[in-house]
Chain A
Amino acid sequence: MDELLLIETVERYLKGEMTQKEKEFFEDIRKNNPAIDQMVVEQTFLFHELDKQANIKAFKHSLYEVENKLAEEGIINKSQLKGKAKVVFLWKKYKRNIAVAASIAGLVSIVTTALISSYNNNIGKSNITYLIDKMQVTEKKVAQLDHTIKEKARLESATNPNYRATGFLIDGKGFIVTNAHVVSRMKTIYVENNKGDYFTAESIYTDPVSDLAVLKINDTAYKTVYNLPYSINKSNSDLGEQIFTMGYPRNEIVYGEGYVSAKSGNEGDSTAYQVSVSVNPGNSGGPVLNKNGEIIGIITSKNSSADGVVFAAKSKNIYKLIEAAKKNGDTSNIKLPNNTGLKGLDRVQQIKKMEDYVFMVVGN
């Protein structure tokens, strides 16, 4: 008996979808054919296990929801900070400046490598690596190859991009937020989604202070999308909150997760967070989301002398950015998404739902 057919039959049998006659016939086969009977038993067991799996997962989901509710009420103690975040927290007590924590982290890495004899006391802009990626020759070649395969003739005119970063849609009409330092280095800007579709874009407003920029896709091939799955958070996130990010440190979208490790950015910058997440050149401009699928920040830079010290502009800066753009005479009437459709989904589903809206920003 064909295995596919057997599975289908067993499923119908278990669900009681068979007619009486069918059922008798099937039971007869089982009785007279031990091999088939064995398969039915196995199949039944598998369905039973799957069902148990579903029930336990649903039950766990309820537990999480109840836990979250009670944690808000203070009946359940909230998670404690772990690892590096804790160190940062303790040091902040003595000097309310995150730079100290950054230099501590820097010191640790220097000691462990034992290659550098002195460490830099001036943790400032000099130690900040912007995460825009200057593409290497090999990667460029891979990119070209990839695009040839996709027969993207248009790319030929896009020439070879020198820089790569990340951006994400804030309005389905084609408005993308990325970093100001990304845009400032590009004369021509292209954005590419994870399917490999290329669109030309232009910068309509940049704010060097918050290091954010708005791009508009001005390509006729672009089709407006409705209902972005994530929302943009106006309030501040808490220390220790779990976060995840997506970006293009490679030619392919890369996922990373971590936590909010400080409520201010480089040198006590209150418009940014320090987050602990693994990022690389190319992640600049990538969204930082909390577990409910709300965007809480935008990756901007990392401390080059300390591992895992990454800075992200707070998401409320996006609202300010749009306001400022309006005052500056921008008439595009950008509407920021305010509903998250990602809440309660598991991470894999969340990523699936949103990866289409995270773009690679390239240019030269």
Chain B
Amino acid sequence: MTNSEQDKHLLEGVALNDRKVIEAIYRDNYPMIQSLILNNNGNSDEARDIFQEAMIVVYEKAISGSFELHCQLKTYIYSVCRRLWLKRLQQLQRYGSLAENVEETVSVEEDLEVHEKHNADFIMMEEAMNKIGEPCKSLLDAYYIQKKNMLEIAVDFGYTNADNAKTQKYKCLVRLKKLFFAQYKKGL
């Protein structure tokens, strides 16, 4: 396989949440990112955070269907991490220029903007979920996030049958919708 074919294969794996592929990407790239961050005022926890976020950026790109990277995956990941870390340093007011080996980088600004939007949505949903209270939170989490079926949920939550659980679920959705859009419209 050529480099770009291999990268395409990796991205497809990421989109499918394939653990083997994720592990391979970590193995190939993590040491480089870890040393970048450790050499620039960061600690190993921050290295983990940054790499994780970069993986999510890669994931979002992979599922969006635009597999075209225009560069090697390695370069892309490095560029994203570098950008994320510079931003973090700025927020923490730990100024200074990056001490790094001269690595090739590409512009990732656009992708990061998209990522930030996604991230904001994610947080908004998380907050809405946290606000709806129990049992709604667990119920919706079980059905929509953990993808359990209604019958299982009825048993777990002690509803007499799946239909009761379903009605309750829809009531919860109405509340979630209200909370989510109240936030969402504020953000627009």
Chain A residues engaging chain B, CB cutoff 8 angstroms: 3-4, 7-8, 42-43, 46, 49-60, 62-63, 65-67, 69-70, 75-80, 348-349, 352
Contact = CB atoms under 8 A, between A and B. Distances in A.
Contact of B144 (A7, A50, A65): A50
Contacts of B52: 60, 63, 67
B45 A80 contact: yes
Given A4-B167, A7-B170, A53 B22 contact: no
Most buried by B among A51, A52, A352: A52
B70 interface: no
Given A56-B56, A77-B47, A49 B23 contact: no
Nearest to A65: B19
B44 A70 contact: no
Interface in B125-143: 125-126, 138, 140
Given A42-B181, A55-B63, A59-B59, A70 B26 contact: yes
4 closest cross-chain pairs (CB), A and B: A77-B44, A50-B144, A54-B145, A4-B170
Interface string B92-129: 00000000000000000000000000100110011000
Contacts of B48: 67, 76
Interface in B144-188: 144-147, 166-167, 170-171, 173-174, 176-177, 180-181
A70 B167 contact: no
B89 interface: no
A216 B147 CA distance: 40
A79 B27 CA distance: 18
A65 B26 CA distance: 12
B25 to A, nearest CB: 9
A58 B170 CA distance: 23
Given A4-B174, A70-B26, A78 B144 contact: no
Given A54-B144, A54-B145, A79-B44, A7 B56 contact: no
B34 interface: yes
Contacts of B170: 4, 7-8
B78 to A, nearest CB: 17
Given A7-B173, A56-B56, A66 B22 contact: yes
Nearest to A49: B125
B17 to A, nearest CB: 5
B174 A63 contact: no
A59 B52 CA distance: 10
Contacts of B140: 50
A59 B17 contact: yes
B72 interface: no
B79 to A, nearest CB: 19
B69 interface: no
B150 to A, nearest CB: 12
Contact of B177 (A43, A56, A349, A352): A43
Contact of A56 (B45, B122, B176): B122
Given A67-B52, A75-B30, 8 more contacts: A4-B167, A50-B125, A53-B144, A54-B147, A63-B52, A65-B19, A67-B48, A80-B44
B43 interface: yes
11 contacts: A7-B170, A7-B177, A46-B181, A52-B122, A56-B56, A60-B56, A65-B19, A66-B22, A75-B31, A77-B34, A77-B44
B84 interface: no
Interface in B71-100: none
A51 B170 CA distance: 16
Contacts of B118: 52
A76 B44 contact: yes
Nearest to B55: A63
A3 B56 contact: no
B174 A7 contact: yes
Contacts of B174: 3-4, 7
Contacts of B177: 7, 42-43, 46
A56 B56 CA distance: 8
A46 B145 CA distance: 13
Contact of B23 (A56, A66, A80, A352): A66
Contacts of B30: 70, 75-76
A57 B140 CA distance: 14
A69 B23 contact: yes
Contacts of B43: 80
A54 B126 CA distance: 11
Contact of A79 (B45, B171, B180): B45
A46 to B, nearest CB: 5
A56 B22 CA distance: 14
